[in-house]
Homo-oligomer: A and B are copies of this chain.
Amino acid sequence: MALIVHKYGGTSLGDLNKIRHVAQRVAAAKDQGDDVAVVVSAMAGETDRLIRLAYEINPDPPPREVDMLASTGEQVSAALLAMALNAMGYPAISFTGGQVGMLTIGVHRKAKIREISAERVFEKLRDGMIVIITGFQGVDIHGNITTLGRGGSDTSAVAIAAVLKADLCEIYTDVDGVYTADPRIVPTARKLDTISHDEMLEMATLGAKVLQSRSVEFAKKYDVPLKVRSTFTNDPGTLIAEETGHMEQTTIKGVTLLRDQARVNVLDLPNVPGIAAKIFKAIADEHVNVDMIVLTENNYGGTDISFTLGIGDLKAAHETTQRICSDVSAKGVTVEEDVAKISVVGIGMQSQPGVAADVFDALGSNGINIEMISTSEIKISCLISSKDADHAMRVIHDRFKLGEPQVATEEVT
């Protein structure tokens, strides 16, 4: 007998019929003799509806009150799922984050889980009940309701699986696993049977939207076996687990794309120490996250600094760099909006020097210009023009033959 945590997202709980369907999946797991705890998101669209009400009544709503409001979404879906299971003859009980002792720290709307005292969950599981827990939310030390930020339900599920020492945490969603690339862009994209935590982390951060990256970090840290599966099919999904020897033969796991990027160039800085720090300190003060950074000497003996960021932060970054332009003795600032970041991800990539060359060649020979490059142990990212993005995904996917069946690595433990 195992202890399994299921997590269902909003699209899986979109209406009463879908909730009934989820109840059947949960019941089927229970029928196999396992203990089951379920973490739920709000019904599809409900969180958006509530947040819209908040901003309609107050353009700058107090975050504490937004959490009070938004947290009702999961409470509704948790109670309805408990009712659906009870109607099918499966004793089930729902709990809010606060009721299962999900204690958070940090600010409202972006709280972080500090600890979970899952005694009540254990107690009810021992009683043979299915326990349903609202995702995305907890309480602070004063009992105020907090939320973990968008997508936080994945993190809730992994955190609860960690505390329960669950044998498996299954994230149910509307896709049947992690793909080598977005199948809407690359028709030959193939579902992966397994992927390592680190690879998944890169994939999640780089634009594969199947899992929130915080949840993958959590799973890695607490060694929680994680699976991404479809609510609507019986596909076994993708297992995210520690890498094993088997994995080394597979160099590239997938290609991801991050759209809506922008680039800022600070031109012709004097080549003296501390200049870069000054620029990025000023930007950090505006709470802007910078992604790729390139520093190059230009033809005039000075230095150009370019960096990328999400388009939403461009205005703040542009204004800040313009403001400090004379402070840092720069000649000027230019910005570029229509750029995207394409990345290839895979463990062992660094020990295979041909990979980077293959990426650059695949892009170059197809007329796609590379504006910036950044690499890590398990990924290579290239900044390219937005108009080339889809084409770039397909040519890289083809180059590494990601659509072809690989050696099975399902036996990872």
Contacts and interface: CB of A to CB of B under 8 A. Distances in A.
A68 B57 contact: no
A58 B65 CA distance: 31
Given A75-B72, A79-B69, A57 B93 contact: no
A175 interface: no
Given A50-B76, A78-B68, A94-B68, A83 B62 contact: yes
Interface in A30-85: 50, 53-54, 56-62, 64-66, 68-69, 71-72, 75-76, 78-80, 82-84
Contact of A57 (B50, B80, B94): B80
- One complex includes copies of this chain to the number of 2
Nearest to A16: B57
Nearest to A68: B79
A25 interface: no
A20 interface: yes
A83 B195 CA distance: 44
A86 B58 contact: yes
A69 B75 contact: yes
A312 interface: no
A64 B84 contact: no
A373 to B, nearest CB: 46
A384 B50 CA distance: 49
Interface in A74-131: 75-76, 78-80, 82-84, 86-87, 93-94, 96, 98-99
Interface of A: 16, 19-20, 50, 53-54, 56-62, 64-66, 68-69, 71-72, 75-76, 78-80, 82-84, 86-87, 93-94, 96, 98-99, 143-145
